[in-house]
Structures are given as structure tokens and as C-alpha cells.
């Protein structure tokens, strides 16, 4: 078959079918004008070097080679005969000319063949200087086992994993295998994998084979539509990053195995001809000065719930200073559930004088005098989760009151009461009221991971919760009746990296580092059974993940009795520097083989942070491959937990990782000798 060297958009003029989409810059033709063998009622090619038009009853001369190849294809040539055995089209030197009767036959026969012929074509260049990409759903696999659909699930809806929608991708059923011939035309596979939201339940494993060699293993990916008994809320699992280097690869095989899994997605799957572009650091526009980096501070809730007073807050403030936490970057002290029970005759919130005898303004002054900032909790509804007064119906009044107290951070919850109005509007109204005070106030939306990442930034929020409450537990099988484990919270947040960046951040909830002392007050259970509390290794990994993900760092342990080991975790400045890096791109899984993962986070100065993460229950030897990290040459490695330079490495780095440990390195490129500046010889 004749090779095709550019992408083709073929449309059959005069047929009933999909119209062009005038809202899209190219009229929708970037979607090839054909999906699932549909007929299309327009004509265009977006190929840069070959014009292919099917106009009326002829095809331009640029089509002749493809036309001849089609005729030589035995499958399609037999379909070009009508019921009487007569040709429905003539193939000549200047192209292919279907008869009037042959249009329908051509529409049915030519599109699937074109998909096959263009499966190894050159992808479209998005913009000058960028790597070029092709959506996997625009290619027809050469070998198919099982069922698959392009860009739609089996209920004929768009692809959704968790609560994230993907406009492109491939949906398959468990037991499927799709094989693509690449012939070394691509450098990277970039996809998100997970169970489609249309799947009621399932447990599947995604695997990628490059020339029959295993290159990616998602490990078990399960979900269910039945939360555990007593669970108050429920999150569907979001997708996991799948990035696989393809240089030199001729054949790509995608496999999904498991039970159930009636709809599993290779979501937003693309093939790239070069490096996968990084997110634009300025993609969210001007951010102001409030949220250029994620917030750092302390929240009272985890250790004290409602059992604290003004004296406790002052002691915690003093501990933030004396422990070195303030100097490490922790600046906000959050009075998390201040417990307002009444309003005065003018509608102003009245603090409990037994808890706050000096008043809230004096408390804020105490914090400011120590170089700290004052945070306060409220609810965007009329009552808080603890049954105290919220702010709904009093947004402007409460915002002015908070500002008069010197409040610098407002955390707004969303309790279980019926919604007074849609959440995006309610939170936008509260954000508007806070801005109207003229005081720079950090605003946090606590909407329990129920999709606020889609709208919170636009509503005026600086952070938005991606999960339910995080427990002092390493993992939960599913949402428990009191919250989720640290591991699931991190997994749920990785898939939302595109939403985070300067000005607004994904929030997988407060840190539970060092919470072992408060375990009786913060019981972690699943279906009534107590979950194991985290180990010291798991505490370090919890902190590492939050730093790599650019999550807010809001400690919750009792700082007044904090052991030195916990302090050393929370004040690890080398880890904190990753979290506060001004580039603001959250980490993703660059390498995954079951329970062994390597996370990658690019940094502003060109360094790279990586986390070699052993999720398994036993020690493992791990390797971070330069190829999977898309880097080359020599790099200086520094262990950020050992605070030790490890030397120069080329090709990769290997180490032993304990169970549930993340070994975090900062890699700095070593210039090639040929590129190093020449020493000055001076002048004679």
C-alpha cells in the first residue's frame, strides 16, 4: 500500500451528515471530519503539505496516489462494485471519479480504509517550535482485541474519569488490546488512564507495551458506586498519568485487563513527535500578590476541633515562632471553627467572650506582632458543619467584620444542609465581598472535592479542596466514614494538575504530619474498623507528596508539644522550596510500574525534582530512568531528606526505598564541556 505522509481530512459533498462547527477555528475539521465511519457534509484538508478535496464527483490530483492505493486494496476494491457488479467509481491517472450511485458506497468504504492508511502519518504541528501531537482517537489500531470507541464511551457520552471530563480519548472494555504501528514516528505517549464514569464498578489494570516490552503498569485501578456503610460522601477515583517514551518504538500495544471495567479510558491520549510541552507558567494571567505560591500555615481543627480558646491560639503562635516554623515559611494561623453562636442587633457576629475575652481584633494584633497572619473559618451557607453560624446572607457584613479584625485568610466550608443557591455563585458572591474590603485576603473554597476545581478560580478562590477530609491514615480502600487516607488524597489530586498554578492551587486538605499524639481526637476508621495510623516514614512521604503537588502546607499537629522529628519534617526547607517554587507546575507520575513510581516536578531555574515512590508493602530497589524523565546528559543529584549531595549521574539513578517511602531528589544539569564558557585569557 502506498505510504501516506500527511494527515487527510476527506469529506463527501452532498451527503447528509455532521455539519461543520463554526465555533471551532477550523470548522471542526481538526477532528478529521470523520469519526466512527460517519459521513460528513463539508470539504477541507488541514494537512500542510497535501491538499485532498473530494468535491462533487472528483478528487484533486493530489489524491491520485491514494486513489490508486485504495484500488489496489482488495477489501475496498470489492466494495466499489454495486449489486450488479458494475464499478461505482473509475480510477484514472488524474484521480478517482465515483459515479452518482457510488457516493454511498464510497462513504462507507473509504473512511475506515483512510484511518488504516493514515495510522502512521505525520501529526499536525500545533504551532511553530512546538512538538507536534496526534490524538490516539484519530488513529485506527492495526490489531484490535475487544471493543473500543473513539472519543465516546459505550453509552455514547463523552469520556469522564472521576469528575474530570476529557474531550478526546479511547474508551475500551476490560480484556481489550489495541495495537498501533508507529514506525519510530513518535517520541512520547501521553495519556490519563482510569475507569470511565459510566462504569458502575470494576477493577482493571492498564498496561503499555513498546515492541512487546512492558513500559507502563498502572497497578490495580478499582472503583465502585457503593460507598462504605456510614460514609457521608463519595468520590469516584480520578485518572492516573501515563507517559511513556516511544523513541525507536515501531509497535505500541495498549492493554486493559481485569474484572468488570465495562468502560475504561485512555483519556486525552496523544502521541508526540518531541518532548511533551510544559504548561505555560503565565497561563492564568495576572495573579496579584496574594497567591503566587501555595499558602503555608497552621489550622487548629485537626488537634483541637472546638476545644481551644484565645490562650491556646497565643501559645500556638509562640510555638510557630520558637520552633522555626514561621522562619521556614509558615505564616497563617487559622482559627478553624471559631464557634460563633449569635449575632448582635446589627447582624454582626459575636465572639464567645469565654473563649476570646480579649476579642478577635486583639487576637489578630497578637499574631501580626509576631510576624504571622490571621486566618478564620466560616461557612458559605448559613450554618457551619459544627452547627455554629455561617456567613450566607451576611457576606458583605461578615467580610467587613473580618477585615476590621485584621483577618488575612478566610476558609469557607460547605455543610450538608440544602444548597441555598448553586455553589459557584455562592462562593463568587463571598469572594466579591472579601475583595470589596480592600484588604488582601487569601480565600479558600472547601467544597469537598465535588468539582470545585472547574470553577473556583473563576469564582475568586485561591485554593479549592480536591478531596474529602484527610485522615491520619496512610490509605483508605475507599472513602471512609470519616475521610480519606493521605495516599488516596494525593492520587485524587495528581489528575487535577492542569487546574493549579500561580494564583490558585489544588488543596488535598491539611497536613496530618505528627498527628499520632492526637489520634484519640481524630479517629480514622473504615466501616467501623480503626485504620492504622501513619508511621514516621509515611509522615515524610505525606509531606513529600504535598510539596511535589504544590498543595497548601497547613500543619495540624499540636505545635506546643511537637517532637524534634516532626519539627524536622515540617521545616525541611529543601522540600518547602519545591512547594514554593515560582514556576508552580505540580508533579506528575513520569514513570509507573505497578507499585513503583517516579514523580517529576520541573522547577523555575531549570532543575528537576523527582520522587522515587515505593507504594508497596516491602522494601524495593528502584530506578529513575533519564529516558522516562525526558532528560539526557549528566545531572547532579541531591537527596532532600538526607540533605546530602550524591554526585553526578548519567542515564538514571537507582536506590533502595523502604515500604511507602519517597526518596526525593533535586537534579541540576551539568553543562556539557563543549557548552561551558571558555576561561578568559585576559589581554597582553
Q: What is the DSSP string of 181-203?
A: E-TT--SEEEEEEEEBTT-SSEE
Grid cell locating 83 = 449489486
Rg of the chain over Cα atoms, rounded to whole angstroms, equals 29
| pLDDT, greater one: 450 or 143 | 143
Instruction: Categorize the per-residue pLDDT at 531 as very low, low, confident or very high, splitting at 50, 70 and 90.
Output: confident
Angstrom distance (rounded) from CA 388 to CA 621: 51
Strand-strand pairing, 505-507 and 463-465: parallel
- pLDDT-based confidence at residue 482 (cuts at 50, 70, 90): low
76-90, 138-152, 217-231: least confident range: 76-90
Pairing, β 332-335 against β 588-593: unpaired
In tens, the pLDDT along 298-316 reads 999 999 999 999 999 999 9
Of the listed ranges 46-60, 75-89, 275-289, the least confidently predicted one is 46-60
Strands (E), 16-137: 54-55, 58-59, 89-92, 95-98, 133-135
Of 663, 493, 592, 608, give the one whose Cα is nearest residue 600. 608
Higher pLDDT, 101 or 548: 548
- Coil vs helix vs strand at 282: coil
pLDDT tens figures, 99-129: 544 544 444 445 444 444 433 333 443 444 5
593 and 216 Cβ atoms separated by less than 8 Å: yes
pLDDT given at position 677: 53
pLDDT value, residue 223? 63
What's the pLDDT at 542? 98
- Residue among 196, 413, 475, 479 flagged as catalytic: 413
Q: Is 622 exposed, middle or buried (0-12, 13-18, 19+ CB in 10 A)?
A: buried
* Candidate list 42, 190, 469, 479, residue with the active-site label: 469
**Nearest C-alpha neighbor of 87 from the set 99, 96, 69, 75:** 99
With beta carbons less than 8 A apart as the criterion, state whether 121 and 273 touch: no
Residue with the three cell numbers 512546538:
130
pLDDT above 80 for 44: no
For residue 283, the number of C-alpha atoms closer than 13 Å in the C-beta half-sphere is 14
Looking at 22-101, list the stretches that DSSP marks H as alpha helix, in order from N- to C-terminal side.
Answer: 64-72, 74-79
State yes or no: pLDDT of 527 exceeds 70: no
When pLDDT is cut at 50, 70 and 90, the band that residue 202 belongs to is confident
Question: If 0-12 CB within 10 Å is exposed, 13-18 middle and 19+ buried, where does residue 682 land?
Answer: exposed
All cell numbers assigned to 58: 472528483
Report the residue count for the chain. Answer: 684
**75 carries an active-site annotation:** no
CB 160 within 8 A of CB 195: no
User: What pLDDT is attached to residue 494?
Assistant: 95
State which H helix or E strand residue 365 sits in: helix 360-369
| Structure confidence at residue 99 (pLDDT) | 52
Instruction: Name the residue with higher pLDDT: 439 or 522.
Output: 439
Task: Give the pLDDT confidence score for residue 251 in this predicted structure.
Answer: 97
Write out the three cell numbers for 69.
492505493
**Mean of per-residue pLDDT scores for the chain:** 81
Residue-wise pLDDT tens digits, 67-105: 444 444 444 444 444 444 444 555 444 444 555 445 444
Residue 242 neighbours by CB distance under 10 Å: 25
The predicted structure's pLDDT at residue 522: 52
Query: CA-to-CA distance for 111 and 447, rounded, in angstroms?
Result: 46
Instruction: Convert the pLDDT of each residue in 603-662 to its tens digit.
Output: 999 999 999 999 999 999 999 999 999 999 999 999 999 999 999 999 999 999 999 999
Hey, how many other C-beta atoms are within 10 angstroms of the C-beta on 529?
Answer: 9
pLDDT of residue 129: 53
Whether 599 shows a pLDDT value over 60: the answer reads yes
Under 8 Å between Cβ of 310 and 355: yes
Q: What is the mean pLDDT of residues 334-343?
A: 96
Q: Reply yes or no on whether the pLDDT at 198 is more than 60.
A: yes
Q: Is the pLDDT of residue 34 over 60?
A: no
Q: What is the pLDDT of residue 221?
A: 74
CA distance 159 to 154: 10
One DSSP character per residue, 319-354 reads: HHHHTTHHHHT--EEEE------EE-TTS-EE--TT
Percentage of the chain beyond pLDDT 70 is: 73
Q: What's the distance, CA 362 to chain centroid?
A: 41
Q: How many CA atoms lie within 13 A of 440 on its CB side?
A: 8
Cα–Cα dist 535/513, whole Å: 10
pLDDT for the residue numbered 58: 33
Q: Taking 90 as the threshold, does the pLDDT of residue 596 lie above it?
A: yes
Q: How far is CA 273 from the centre of its chain?
A: 22
Write down the pLDDT at residue 20.
Answer: 32
- Closest by CA position to 518, among listed 485, 563, 484, 569: 563
pLDDT at 382 over 70: yes
Q: Mutual orientation of helices 64-72 and 102-117 as an angle, nearest 10°?
A: 100
Which pLDDT does position 622 carry in this prediction? 98
Lowest mean pLDDT segment, chosen from 77-81, 208-212, 467-471, 530-534: 77-81
Confidence at residue 283, expressed as pLDDT on a 0 to 100 scale? 78
DSSP helix/strand/coil, 536: helix
Most confident among 37-46, 213-222, 344-353 (mean pLDDT)? 344-353
For 523: left if phi > 0, alpha if psi spans -120 to 50, otherwise beta; the answer is beta
Q: Is 645 a catalytic residue?
A: no
83 versus 130: which is more confidently predicted?
A: 130
pLDDT of 559 > 70? The answer is: yes
> Which stretches of 545-606 are assigned E, i.e. beta strand?
553-555, 588-593, 596-602
Give pLDDT, residue 162: 86
The residue among 159 and 124 whose pLDDT is bigger is 159
Rounded average pLDDT over 37-46? 28
Stated as kind and residue range, the H or E segment containing 296 is strand 296-299
Q: How confident is the model at residue 23 (pLDDT cuts 50, 70, 90)?
A: very low
CA distance 515 to 501: 29
Distance CA 177, CA 158 (A): 21
Q: What is d(CA 636, CA 670) in angstroms, rounded to the nearest whole number?
A: 7
- Provide the grid cell at 247: 523513541
Residue 224's pLDDT band (boundaries 50, 70, 90)? low
Kindly indicate the confidence band of residue 478, based on its pLDDT and cuts at 50, 70 and 90. low
Amino acid at each position: 500500500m502506498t505510504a501516506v505522509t500527511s494527515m487527510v481530512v476527506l469529506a463527501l459533498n452532498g451527503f447528509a451528515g455532521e455539519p461543520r462547527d463554526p465555533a471551532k477555528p477550523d470548522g471542526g475539521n481538526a477532528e478529521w471530519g470523520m469519526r466512527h465511519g460517519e459521513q460528513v457534509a463539508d470539504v477541507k484538508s488541514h494537512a500542510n503539505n497535501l491538499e485532498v478535496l473530494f468535491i462533487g464527483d472528483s478528487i484533486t490530483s493530489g489524491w491520485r496516489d491514494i486513489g490508486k492505493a485504495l484500488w489496489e486494496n482488495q477489501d475496498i476494491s470489492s466494495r466499489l462494485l454495486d449489486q450488479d457488479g458494475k464499478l461505482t467509481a473509475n480510477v484514472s491517472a488524474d484521480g478517482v471519479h465515483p459515479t452518482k450511485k457510488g457516493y454511498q458506497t464510497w462513504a462507507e468504504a473509504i473512511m475506515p480504509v483512510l484511518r488504516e492508511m493514515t495510522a502512521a502519518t505525520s501529526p499536525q504541528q500545533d504551532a511553530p517550535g512546538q512538538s507536534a501531537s496526534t490524538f490516539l482517537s484519530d488513529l485506527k489500531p492495526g490489531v484490535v482485541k475487544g471493543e473500543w470507541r473513539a472519543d465516546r464511551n459505550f453509552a455514547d457520552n463523552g469520556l469522564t474519569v472521576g469528575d474530570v471530563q476529557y474531550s478526546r480519548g479511547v474508551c475500551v472494555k476490560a480484556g481489550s488490546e489495541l495495537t498501533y504501528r508507529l514506525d519510530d514516528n513518535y517520541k512520547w505517549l501521553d495519556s490519563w488512564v482510569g475507569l470511565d464514569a459510566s462504569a458502575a464498578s470494576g477493577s482493571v489494570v492498564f498496561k503499555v507495551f513498546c515492541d512487546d516490552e512492558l513500559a507502563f503498569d498502572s497497578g490495580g485501578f478499582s472503583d465502585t458506586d457503593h460507598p462504605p456503610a456510614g460514609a457521608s460522601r463519595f468520590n469516584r477515583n480520578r485518572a492516573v498519568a501515563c507517559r511513556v517514551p516511544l523513541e525507536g518504538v515501531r509497535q505500541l500495544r495498549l492493554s486493559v485487563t481485569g474484572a468488570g471495567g465495562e468502560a475504561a479510558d485512555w483519556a486525552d491520549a496523544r502521541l508526540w513527535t518531541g518532548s511533551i510541552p510544559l504548561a505555560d507558567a503565565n497561563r492564568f494571567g495576572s495573579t496579584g500578590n496574594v497567591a503566587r505560591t501555595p499558602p503555608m500555615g497552621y489550622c487548629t481543627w485537626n488537634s483541637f476541633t472546638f476545644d481551644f480558646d484565645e490562650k491556646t491560639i497565643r501559645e500556638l503562635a509562640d510555638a510557630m515562632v520558637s520552633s522555626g516554623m514561621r522562619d521556614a515559611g509558615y505564616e497563617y494561623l487559622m482559627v478553624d471553627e471559631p464557634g460563633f453562636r449569635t449575632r448582635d442587633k446589627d447582624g454582626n457576629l459575636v465572639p464567645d467572650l469565654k473563649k476570646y475575652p480579649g476579642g478577635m481584633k486583639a487576637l489578630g494584633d497578637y499574631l501580626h506582632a509576631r510576624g504571622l497572619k490571621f486566618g478564620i473559618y466560616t461557612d458559605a451557607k448559613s450554618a457551619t458543619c459544627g452547627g455554629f453560624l455561617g456567613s450566607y446572607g451576611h457576606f458583605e457584613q461578615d467580610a467587613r467584620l473580618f477585615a476590621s479584625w485584621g483577618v488575612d485568610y478566610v476558609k469557607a466550608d460547605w455543610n450538608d444542609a440544602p444548597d441555598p443557591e448553586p455553589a459557584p455563585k455562592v462562593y463568587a458572591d463571598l469572594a466579591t465581598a472579601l475583595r470589596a474590603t480592600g484588604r488582601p485576603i487569601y480565600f479558600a473554597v472547601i467544597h469537598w472535592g465535588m468539582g470545585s476545581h472547574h470553577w473556583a478560580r473563576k469564582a475568586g478562590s485561591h485554593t479549592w479542596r480536591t478531596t474529602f477530609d484527610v485522615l491520619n491514615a496512610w490509605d483508605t480502600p475507599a472513602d471512609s466514614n470519616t475521610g480519606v487516607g493521605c495516599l488516596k488524597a494525593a492520587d485524587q489530586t495528581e489528575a487535577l494538575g492542569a487546574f493549579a498554578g500561580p494564583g490558585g492551587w489544588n488543596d488535598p486538605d491539611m497536613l496530618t504530619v505528627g498527628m499520632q499524639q492526637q489520634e484519640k481526637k481524630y479517629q480514622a476508621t473504615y466501616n467501623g474498623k480503626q485504620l492504622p495510623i501513619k508511621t514516621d516514614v509515611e509522615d515524610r512521604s505525606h509531606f513529600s507528596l504535598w510539596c511535589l503537588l504544590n498543595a497548601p502546607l497547613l500543619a495540624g499537629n499540636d505545635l506546643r508539644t511537637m517532637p524534634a522529628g516532626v519539627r524536622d519534617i515540617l521545616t525541611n526547607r529543601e522540600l518547602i522550596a519545591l512547594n514554593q517554587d515560582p514556576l508552580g507546575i505540580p508533579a506528575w507520575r513520569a514513570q509507573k510500574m505497578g507499585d513503583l513510581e517516579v514523580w517529576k516536578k520541573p522547577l523555575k531555574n531549570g532543575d528537576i525534582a523527582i520522587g522515587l515512590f515505593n507504594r508497596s508493602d516491602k522494601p524495593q530497589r528502584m530506578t529513575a530512568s533519564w529516558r522516562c524523565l525526558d532528560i539526557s546528559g549528566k545531572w547532579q543529584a541531591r537527596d532532600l531528606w538526607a540533605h546530602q549531595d550524591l554526585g553526578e549521574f548519567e542515564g538514571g539513578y537507582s536506590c533502595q526505598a523502604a515500604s511507602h517511602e519517597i526518596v526525593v531528589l533535586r537534579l541540576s544539569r551539568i553543562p556539557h564541556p563543549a557548552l561551558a564558557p571558555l576561561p578568559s585569557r585576559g589581554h597582553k
